[in-house]
Amino acid sequence: MIDKTQHELYLEQIDILMRKDAEMSKHEAALLNALVDCVYEFEEFHYPMDPPTPEDMAEFRRDQERMK
C-alpha cells in the first residue's frame, strides 16, 4: 500500500493525466488506471465511509428533486 506522500504525488499525476483527455496514449491510460486503483485502495483504508442512513438518502433525494 502507498503512504501519504505517495498518495499526494499520485493525485497530482492523476490530475495531469486527466487534463490530457483525448491526447492520452495507451501507456498513459494504463498508468492512470493503476494510479487510480492505488489511490482508491489508500482512501478506502484510511478514510472509510459508512453507508448513508435512510434519512440521508431521503434528504439527498429531496435535494435532487429541488434541482430540477
Residues 6 or more apart whose Cβ sits within 8 Å of residue 20: 28
| pLDDT at site 22 | 80
Each residue of 18-60: pLDDT tens digit? Answer: 998 788 999 999 999 999 999 999 999 999 999 999 999 999 9
Is 0.85 topped by the overall pTM?
A: no
* Kind and range of the H or E run holding 61: helix 54-67
* Number of structural domains in the chain: 1
| pLDDT at site 44 | 97
Structural contact between residues 14 and 36, judged by C-beta atoms closer than 8 angstroms: yes
- Domain hosting 39: range is 4-67
Structural contact between residues 50 and 28, judged by C-beta atoms closer than 8 angstroms: no
Q: CA dist 14 to 1, 18, 42, 50, Å? A: 17, 6, 14, 26
